[in-house]
Structure 1
Amino acid sequence: MSRRNITIMTPCYNEEDNVLNVYNQVRAVMATLADKYEYEHVFIDNSSRDNTVAILKWIAREDPNVKIIVNSRNFGHIRSPIHALFASRGECVISIVADLQDPPPMIVDMLREWENGAYCVLGIKRTSEEASLMFWLRKQYYKLAERLSSIETIQNYTGFGLYDRKVIELVRSFDDPYPYFRGMIAEIGLPTVRLLYDQPVRKFGITKNNWYTLYDIGMLGIINHSKVPLRLASFAGFAGAFVSFLVAIGYFIAKILFWSTFTVGIAPMLIGVFFVMSIVLVCLGIMGEYVGAIYTQLQHRPYAVELTRVNFETGFGTPRQEPVTLNGITSGNPLTVTAVAP
């Protein structure tokens, strides 16, 4: 019986403490499935400033199943993974992050569900060892996005999952230069299996996401699937005008009834002006997000520009049986890589 070809895809940026570890863990899982599958492990590096690329090239010399794409610069956390997704060649693609917060052993369960007919097998966070406040805020965002969206969204889903080749080609057909991948999967709506897991804490290195990147992807998830914010802005304008009219009528009646004693004063006027201006600024911000999305669509820039590729001339292969070691270390922190050639 012929073996099926699959792709493991891992985006990374400044992950020198993790890439060897994630490679060896994925390799160990695939070694248990060697009778059924050949595979390639595609790493796309977003122009790391540490030794990530050097370590990846060292691994690729030892294992031709490892393919590397090195971007010419940092193209961001939205565009770079999509570029690697479209560069993959497997019958299905499994996306797994470099920091090992996506458990590699779940690959076995995902492939089983795929063989049973699922087009997507998604990892859904049941719990997380990250800061409890951050996990709570994420859950509230998912609930808000669900209420605002015109489609059923997928809550507590980060992109970790398996995607059939048909799904990859459908995502490609969207032709979106700044894609919200999680929303695309919900939009496609093909048969999907959801697997619950408990997300471990990052052990090595620091997260590359900051408040801006989280805001960016959060806002992208809302504006890509909902017109509700625009409608709310219009509603706020009408509501503000109506309240202002009622207040004006009230002041007018009070002045007529208490002509000699009633004085308006400047404080209510200032409060009213600041209230109206705050509504105007919020509405402008909402409209600006939509205009910015349109502007990005019109630019239609490439997802990423490649500096180099490694091992893409080789095909799929059998998992290497023994782990790759670097300076006597198979995984974990620290790694001394001063002797590794770029």
Structure 2
Amino acid sequence: MKKISIMIPTYNEEENVEPLSEAIINVFETELVDYDYEILFIDNDSHDQTRDKLEGLCRGNHKIKAIFNAKNFGQFNSPYYGMCQTSGDCTICMCADFQDPVDMIPKFVDEWEKGYKIVCGIKTTSKENKIMYFLRSCYYKLIRKMSDVEQIEHFTGFGLYDQSFIDTLRNLKDPTPFLRGIVAELGAKRKDIPYEQAKRRAGKTSNNWYSLYDAAMLSFTSYTKIGLRLATIFGFICSGISLVVALVYFVLKLLYWDQFPAGTAPILIGMFVIGSIQIFFIGLVGEYILNINSRMMNRPLVIEEKRINFEDDDKKENECS
């Protein structure tokens, strides 16, 4: 009997973990009766009753597992690490707030049985804030045009991943993994399935402008070269313009030294313009350096505080760390 792993990252989801686990179990008991399953929750240091709820679920069902992180390791490391800890023939990654529809699970499995190694859920519409959806759409189109790797628009990580791809993730040893980019770059035999993203069932999202910026910069600095290329090109152009202006000013000063005004306004304006361009690109180059620094430190993705119901496969504890 094939085993399907459902991996769910959590952070302050006390109102959602119990109904979500019930909905998933119901899918396996009614539509996927020929498959075994495990549900793995990986909690990123919640401060509400999420962990108490998860411990109760694990006591009631041995197929429900939980990993408690020692602290919050971010929105990318924790899910990636959780995927590496699954033991199924395939792994389905979904969020805990019901924005990823549970009824998509049988559709993913059906495409997987047809031979696809990765099945991605693609948001074609969303009930989230329309402004946010528009901004996300602009970002996806922008990064897709600039990236050397063809990026997947409106893909959040919700989807099914064959065990062979999970093994690839385990072997990457990437300390700053960006799953969406990795799927686009390394994923083979991929099938995209459209769906409508629902509203959050309960609780408050942990996403904010800073976390969205962090995600955008990780994607930008991991899969594009255009930032550094623009810095080089603009630097070359500005240097050339500055040299020409300096030479012209010097020649005019020599020829018409008694008539040529000695005002400093043009010089100051040029300094401010060139200085602002330099500051912008220094910040952009800094983002690339920050990304390189994170990878060079090669720190573990997460540090576990506790894991529950892993008695049969503790060997995975040190993998993908």
Instruction: Normalising by structure 1, report the TM-score.
Output: 0.86
Partner of 1:105: helix, strand, or coil?
Answer: helix
Partner of 2:123: helix, strand, or coil?
Answer: strand
CA change 1:199–1:257 in 2 (3 A) is farther
Deviation string, structure 1 residues 150-197 (Cα, Å, up to 9, x no partner):
111111100000000011111222210111111111111401000001
Deviation of the 1:82 alpha carbon: 1.2
Deviation of the 1:263 alpha carbon: 2.8
Partner of 1:142: helix, strand, or coil?
Answer: helix
Residues of 1 paired with 2:29 and 2:122: CA distance? 25
* The one of 88, 91, 102 aligned to 1:90: 88
Residues of 1 paired with 2:18 and 2:263: CA distance? 70
> Residues 69-88 of structure 1: matches in 2 within 5 Å?
69-88=67-86
The answer to whether the aligner puts 1:241 opposite 2:247 as a matched pair is no
Contact 1:123-1:161 at 8 Å conserved across structures: yes
Paired AA for residue 151 in structure 2:
T
Residues of 1 paired with 2:211 and 2:176: CA distance? 13
Partner of 1:233: helix, strand, or coil?
Answer: helix
Partner of 1:190: helix, strand, or coil?
Answer: coil
Deviation string, structure 1 residues 4-61 (Cα, Å, up to 9, x no partner):
1010000000111211122122122122234321000000001110000011111222
- Matched with 2:157 is 159
- Matched with 1:141 is 139
- Greater mean deviation of Cα atoms: 202-211 or 111-120: 202-211
* The one of 209, 215, 218 aligned to 2:216: 218
Paired AA for residue 301 in structure 1:
R
Residues of 2 paired with 1:21 and 1:265: CA distance? 73
- Matched with 2:289 is 291
- Matched with 2:317 is none
Paired AA for residue 196 in structure 1:
P
Paired AA for residue 14 in structure 1:
N
Residues of 2 paired with 1:219 and 1:301: CA distance? 20
Residues of 1 paired with 2:129 and 2:263: CA distance? 49
Partner of 2:307: helix, strand, or coil?
Answer: strand
> Residues 179-328 of structure 1: matches in 2 within 5 Å?
179-249=177-247, 251=249, 262-263=260-261, 265-313=263-311
* The one of 3, 7, 11 aligned to 1:9: 7
Contact 1:64-1:314 at 8 Å conserved across structures: no
Residues of 2 paired with 1:48 and 1:255: CA distance? 69
Overall identity of the aligned pairs, in %: 42
Paired AA for residue 163 in structure 1:
Y
Residues of 1 paired with 2:148 and 2:90: CA distance? 28
> Residues 40-51 of structure 1: matches in 2 within 5 Å?
40-51=38-49
Contact 1:68-1:310 at 8 Å conserved across structures: yes
Contact 2:32-2:106 at 8 Å conserved across structures: no
Residues of 1 paired with 2:162 and 2:32: CA distance? 19
Paired AA for residue 167 in structure 1:
F
Residues of 1 paired with 2:132 and 2:188: CA distance? 31
Residues of 2 paired with 1:169 and 1:143: CA distance? 30
Paired AA for residue 236 in structure 2:
F
Of Structure 1 and Structure 2, the greater helix share is in: 2
The answer to whether the aligner puts 1:29 opposite 2:27 as a matched pair is yes
Residues of 2 paired with 1:245 and 1:100: CA distance? 59
- Matched with 1:123 is 121
Deviation of the 1:244 alpha carbon: 2.3
Deviation of the 1:202 alpha carbon: 1.4
Paired AA for residue 295 in structure 2:
Q
* Residue-pair matches, total: 313
Q: Which runs of 5+ in 2 are unaligned?
A: 314-321
Partner of 1:55: helix, strand, or coil?
Answer: helix
- Matched with 2:112 is 114
Instruction: Normalising by structure 2, report the TM-score.
Output: 0.92
Partner of 2:223: helix, strand, or coil?
Answer: coil
CA RMSD of aligned residues (A): 1.8
